[in-house]
Copies of this chain bind each other. A is one copy, B any other.
Amino acid sequence: MYDVLRTGPSEGNAMPDVPEFALQERPQHDLRRIGAHPDHWYPLAWSREVKRGRPYAAQFAGEPIVLVRPHAGPVYALEDRCAHRQVPLSQGVVDGDALRCCYHGWTYDATGRCTDVPYLGKGKLPNGVRAYPCREKDGLIFVWPGDGEAGALPDLGHVADPAFKVRRFGRVVGCHYSFMHENLMDMNHQFLHRKQMGQIAPRYVGRRAGPDWIECDYTFARTGGRQPWGEAAILGRRSGASTQHRDLMRIRTQYPHQTLKIWISGDDPVMQLWINYVPVDRAQRSNRTFGLIQVRRPKVPLLLDLAWPVLVWFTERIFAEDRAIVEMEQAAHDRQGADWNQEVFPVIRELRALLAECGAPMDTPVAP
């Protein structure tokens, strides 16, 4: 019954040539021990999570970062540990536009400078804490955790475009960010979603790459079963099975972000996903996922609103299945202590090389 998933190598746009490989093949580097490069913008929170006057404790790869929305002025980001005794500043008190540590009341401004120690003279103030470039855009709070000069914010697509309806989703997933990139880019895993998607056959139709990006195209055929309602909410209603491949899906890793776009006709995608996987712990064995699903509103816009709960349920189910499987991958890696992956799909091999090349050495883990 699962034969429908097989896409033969018989056509022009077939699976690219796959060399023989041996069972003992091991990568030179272990991708799962390469860190996300800090010299990029990463979302550390949804805007709604960072309330005025309430410090918010975030993390990037084990580095504690406090986000502060002062009573006036833009959100800012500081190292989340007091210079004095290293307790989290996120436990402190927003005082005007400054942040006061909860323990002895040491106070820092938006640049991290220590501006007050209640029991010290002004001339004796100690050094402060690190401040990070911080920007808010389209409901996300971005931080630049690296030392390099902050560049432009990423293009999030149509999030601010009223012609699109947006769903924000995500949660902490217990795996290295690279498993997430590979999961989304390899559409050959539709077998995993057989209960949600029914019998659907992806076909690889090409790829392109640059120094810090790779993208891959697929078409799909529904070879059996009914179209799921969640899919119908995005692509429109279709009836019956067919061996005809249609639609175009393009998945792109633009380091460190990822996008997925679907076209059913014309130049404009009917659906677009922007997603980023932000390492949480120092060993980067978990990531917080921030996803923005953007669906073009149909001619009768109310239809999309009516279908929205179905779409939400559908995408949550798919995401839950993906989360479960990537966490199994991480657990296998933990147990084995190494990456035993035997990849046969060249696109994923290239994606892995890209992620390794664009990444950064991981900090030596701190003893627990």
Do A325 and B188 have beta carbons less than 8 Å apart?
Answer: no
Smallest CB–CB gap between A56 and chain B, Å? 16
A126 to B344 alpha-carbon distance, docked (Å): 8
Does A367 sit within 8 A of B, measured CB to CB? yes
Do B118 and A189 have beta carbons less than 8 Å apart?
Answer: no
Do B367 and A118 have beta carbons less than 8 Å apart?
Answer: no
Q: List, in ascending order, chain B residues with CB within 8 A of A2's CB.
A: 93, 95, 100, 105, 118
Do A334 and B368 have beta carbons less than 8 Å apart?
Answer: yes
| Contact bitstring A163-188, B, C-beta under 8 A = 1, else 0 | 00000000000000000000000101
| Contact bitstring A184-221, B, C-beta under 8 A = 1, else 0 | 00101101100000000010100000000000000000
With known contacts A2-B95, A367-B337, A329–B86 Cβ distance under 8 A: yes
A71 to B367 alpha-carbon distance, docked (Å): 46
Does A156 sit within 8 A of B, measured CB to CB? no
**What are 23 residue pairs bridging A and B, where the CB atoms are less than 8 Å apart in the complex?**
A1-B95, A3-B118, A7-B118, A9-B121, A15-B119, A15-B121, A18-B124, A64-B335, A81-B340, A84-B343, A84-B344, A85-B332, A87-B325, A87-B329, A103-B192, A105-B191, A118-B188, A118-B191, A120-B344, A127-B342, A336-B366, A337-B366, A337-B367
A188 to B282 alpha-carbon distance, docked (Å): 33
Do B342 and A126 have beta carbons less than 8 Å apart?
Answer: yes
Q: List, in ascending order, chain B residues with CB within 8 A of A117's CB.
A: 344
Interface positions, chain A 114-132, Cβ under 8 Å from B, are: 116-121, 124, 126-127
Chain B residue with minimal CB distance to A84?
B342
Copies of this chain assembled into the complex: 3
Smallest CB–CB gap between A84 and chain B, Å? 6
Chain B residue with minimal CB distance to A102?
B192
Do B8 and A121 have beta carbons less than 8 Å apart?
Answer: yes
Does A23 sit within 8 A of B, measured CB to CB? yes
Does A91 sit within 8 A of B, measured CB to CB? yes
A81 to B340 alpha-carbon distance, docked (Å): 10
Q: Which 3 A-B pairs have the closest CB atoms?
A: A86-B332, A105-B191, A337-B366
Do A344 and B9 have beta carbons less than 8 Å apart?
Answer: no
Do B325 and A103 have beta carbons less than 8 Å apart?
Answer: yes
Does A83 sit within 8 A of B, measured CB to CB? yes
Q: List, in ascending order, chain B residues with CB within 8 A of A118's CB.
A: 2-3, 5-7, 188, 191
Interface positions, chain A 19-46, Cβ under 8 Å from B, are: 20-23
Does A224 sit within 8 A of B, measured CB to CB? no
Do B22 and A86 have beta carbons less than 8 Å apart?
Answer: no
Chain B residue with minimal CB distance to A91?
B328
Do B104 and A188 have beta carbons less than 8 Å apart?
Answer: yes
Do B189 and A104 have beta carbons less than 8 Å apart?
Answer: yes
A102 to B195 alpha-carbon distance, docked (Å): 11
